[in-house]
Structure 1
Amino acid sequence: MTVNARQLVESVATGFTEFPVPTPESTSDGPIGWPGYREARRRAIERTGERESVVCGAGKVGDVEATLIAFEFGFMGGSLGRATGDRIEAAFVHARELGTPMVTLIATGGSRMYEGMAALSQLQRIAHQIALTRAAAIPQLAVLRDPTTGGGWATLGAAADVILALPGAQAGFAGSRVRPPGDADAYTAESHLATGQVDQIVAPDELPERLARWLALLTGADGVAAEPPTALGARKPPATGWASVLAARAPGRPRADAYLDAYFDWCEDISGDRRGGVDPGVRCGFGHRQGTTIAYAAQCGTPTQPAGFRTAARLIRLADRLGIPVLTLVDTPGAANDAAAERAGAGPAIAEVFTAVAEATVPVTTLVIGEGGSGGALAFAAPGRTWITPDAYFSVTSPEAATAILKLPPDEVPAVADRLRLRPQDVAELGLAKLQLADPG
């Protein structure tokens, strides 16, 4: 069954009140005098009961007051014209005046051809409103419905802080009638999730609850620094450097998923770097803990790919803008250093995380929970607020790499590990981290 804009809004928000229409309805054939445009609008009004392609208003999503924009695809394909731009602009102004998060429920084919460049220029107006709202530290959340193409995707959709999508939704800059023949799967929500352009795919019946959870997270921080998680593994650090390396590499050692599950009441992940990449070895998102929100960026024990660094940087910058403290978990043998990683921009990606942590105005807390391999691990660490567990190590490079650099035989690796002073207690003595022990209970 097709759900129209009002039905969708009423399914996700309670007490929805539509905003007054900011401009009177046009009775002409539009700004470029397209023959029959006035009649096409009249038929769209009769068919949908709406006067424009968007419904804008305020309502409560879960426990959070929000400003909502819902596209009515039945009204001229949800296209963006001048009157659409007026309504969207007014909704963003309202959101900033009241400090309420923005939720856009998008279903559009793009700019309204019948209004020519006057329609296309609405994208600049919308982009300006998005920028003003971002500067005001107001969260913006988009839901991609079928279809979300053209300027609607390239502004309200792709520029949102968090992007959800309905299963099977067509999404992409080019609509189905104008793109070249070929790989149609590239224009789906599932493809965009796989390439780091969408955060989650949400079934329609789960959308109200998921939106409520997201808005609670994005508006629920108290700004207090995150406490480091309690160590979940070994109770005391090993005696030697090589033993520390082996403990950190042990298959049964607690990993990021175990730490996040123990630390948070519940959480929601983001996915991807918005540039075409996803690293399954880095988990980022926002979690609820004891009544407040904390953002997290966690390495999961694999070499971190450029997309992983960029996703972490994206998470830290978003959290900083919204005033949400950050927790990072370090666990990587190092940055991926193969040819593919280098071509994907490993150096600039690592630099992004170093910079995001350095520029953050919110407190960043770090716990090293396993391998702390060189700069790829250090990029995730907060200077002055880093802790390390007994079954972890932190090193300028791996003992194997150090042995190779020194042109020593492989059997010297354990001795080199000792010389590197990479044990957790060594790192603590150097003043670079504090030792975090397991709960004695």
Structure 2
Amino acid sequence: MTDPGSLRELPHPPPPAEPNPLGWPDYDKVLSRAAERGGSESVTAATARIGGTEVVLLAFDFTYLGGSLGRRAGDRVEAAHTHARRHGLPVVALVATGGSRMQEGMIALTQLQRVAGQMVLTRAAGLPQLTVACDPTTGGGWATLGAGADITLACPGAQIGFAGSRVRPADADPAAYTAESQFDAGSVDALVAPGELRGVLGRWLRLLTRPAPDAAPVPAARGRVDPPPTGWSAVLRARDPGRPRARAYLDAYFGHREELSGDRAGGRDAGMLCGFGALGEGAEAVTVAYAAQCGTATTPAGYRTAARLIRLAGRLGIPVLTLVDTPGAANDAAAERAGAGPAIAEVFLAVAESPVPVTTLAIGEGGSGGALALAAPGNTWVAPDAYFSVIAPEQAAAILKRPPDQAEHTADQLRLRPQDLVELGVVRGITQPGP
């Protein structure tokens, strides 16, 4: 996984004064037998290059007492993070662990607090943290280094979950404790085969460590460029199934990109694309983060994923591009039970408090607050075949107790065309086709 010849193991912290804090019978012999199989602890810390980017690497060895976390392992994790902050390096963790070490009892369990504390300090230093969840990743290792990383990748088929195989309910579905299940639940960003990890990690590291110095430029228009004559014609253009969608805009805008996925709260929304992309090529490429709606009703999971992306970009100093394209937020009973209001609020707040510039382009439907949540105040633009409205014309007509055939007239009254939005001062301008 590392570039040839780049791996340098970090000096180990001195062993604890009391290696057997509980007086566990024959614990010294257990440690000796584990060392005979290779290695001196369940975690090794090193510096290395991955795809040309210098990193601090934490590698777990499951053959050493199940990759368990004890005090000496906690010492190594702390030393690794301290080294990363001192030298301004990203942290990459290859995790394979069954959890806390039984023979050290609560001393082992409290290492999770130490690990979390170090992760917070490294996060505050603006340094990215990436984890590869290997087989298995369970217990406190999953609940800190695994699920708490900025970007979490997982090996296909790996056993991943807070509960290890020996402590689950007898009737538990084993499929729920897999990398695939964690991806579906929004806890893992991508499934990556071992042979592809070096390339994928290299791309992620380049993206997360090379922020663009200025606000994201406004993307060029990809669809029709003539101004719509009426409000209703603007609505029909935005709803045209042949209109360019978010993927077309992102593919044209970025040289390459990597997607993060999931809200870390049990959900994913395929209609919200989030990630980081490279502007330019080669050594001159710089990174912009993106959150893009795909024309569907955005679910609470989609909003939470967007808020996660915007806040991560802010911590890393990477400017953000948002693409608005939704008829509105999902408003069915399932969405309400999943917390639609709080999820939308999180995006409004993330945009409002972002320490990095946010650029917004409305590329399709801009339906009510579910669209406005992603829009940057003072830096929102609109494509010629898009619209933005306080509410969809049909719904506005219904609220005003007008018959359905009044929706077209209502669209004109709402002044939702691109040129109307410019005149009203709610967008900065209409984007034009690129060269």
Return the TM-score normalized by structure 1: 0.96
Q: What is the CA-CA distance between 1:435 and the residue it aligns to?
A: 3.1
- Structure-1 separation of matches of 2:195 and 2:32: 33
- Measured after TM superposition, the shift of residue 30 of structure 1 is 1.0
Which residue type is aligned with residue 129 of structure 2?
A: Q
Could you report, residue by residue, the CA deviation over 1:214-253 in whole angstroms, capped at 9, with x for unpaired residues? Answer: 0001001033100010000001221000000000000100
What is the letter of the counterpart of residue 133 of structure 2?
L
Alignment match, 1:420: 414
Separation in 2, partners of 1:398, 1:79: 55
> Pairwise mapping of residues 144-163 of structure 1 onto structure 2 (< 5 A)?
144-163=133-152
Partner of 1:15: 6
Whole-Å separation in 1 of the counterparts to 2:48 and 2:116: 23
Partner residue, 1:339? 333
Shift of 1:23: 1.2
Structure 2: any 5+ residue segments left out of the alignment?
none
Counterpart of 2:52 (choices 36, 55, 63) is: 63
Does residue 141 of structure 1 match 2:141?
no
Q: 1:78 to 1:13 in 2, by over 3 A?
A: farther
Structure 2 distance, partners of 1:37, 1:344, is 47
**What RMSD, in angstroms, separates the aligned Cα atoms of the two structures?**
1.2
Query: Which of 199, 202, 214 is residue 212 of structure 1 equivalent to?
Result: 202
- Give the deviation of 1:436 after TM superposition: 2.8
Q: Does 1:46 align with 2:31?
A: no
Aligned partners of 1:195 and 1:276 also within 8 Å:
yes
The correspondence for 2:267, drawn from 267, 277, 285, is 277
Partner Cα separation in structure 1 for residue 25 and residue 19 of structure 2: 6
Which secondary structure does the structure 1 equivalent of 2:7 belong to? strand
CA–CA separation in structure 1 for the residues paired with 2:19 and 2:329? 59
Please tell me the residue identity of whatever aligns with 1:259: Y
Aligned residues: 430
Given that 2:381 and 2:431 are in contact with CA atoms closer than 8 Å, whether structure 1 keeps it comes out as no
Residue type of the alignment partner of 1:277: G
Amino acid at match of 2:219: P
Aligned residue type for 1:341: A
CA-CA distance at 1:25 after TM superposition: 7.1
* Aligned positions of 1:40-439 closer than 5 A: 40-47=30-37, 49-181=38-170, 182-290=172-280, 291-439=285-433
Aligned-residue sequence identity (percent) comes to 64
- Given the superposition, is the C-alpha separation of residues 437 and 89 from structure 1 closer, same or farther in structure 2, using an over 3 Å criterion? closer
Amino acid at match of 1:431: G
Q: CA deviation digits over 1:20-46, x for unaligned, max 9?
A: 1111377x7711011111111111111
Query: 1:213: Cα distance to partner?
Result: 0.4
Q: Aligned letter for 1:157?
A: G
Whole-Å separation in 1 of the counterparts to 2:424 and 2:213: 29
> Once the two structures are superposed, what CA deviation does each residue of 1:156-213 show, in whole Å capped at 9, x if it has no partner?
1111000000011111111000111221111111001001000000011000000100
Change beyond 3 A, Cα 1:99–1:440:
closer
SS at match of 2:219: coil
Instruction: Tell me, in whole angstroms, the C-alpha distance in 2 between the residues paired with 1:414 and 1:83.
Output: 70
Instruction: Find the aligned partners of 2:53 and 2:42 in 1 and give their Cα distance.
Output: 25
Paired position in structure 1 for 2:21: 31
Distance 2:151 2:422 in 1: 37
Q: State TM-score, norm by structure 2.
A: 0.97
Contact preservation (8 Å) 2:419, 2:430? no
Distance, in Å, in 2 between the alignment partners of 1:13 and 1:367 is 43
Moved over 4 A (4+): 10-14
- 3-state DSSP of counterpart to 2:365: strand
Distance 2:132 2:210 in 1: 21
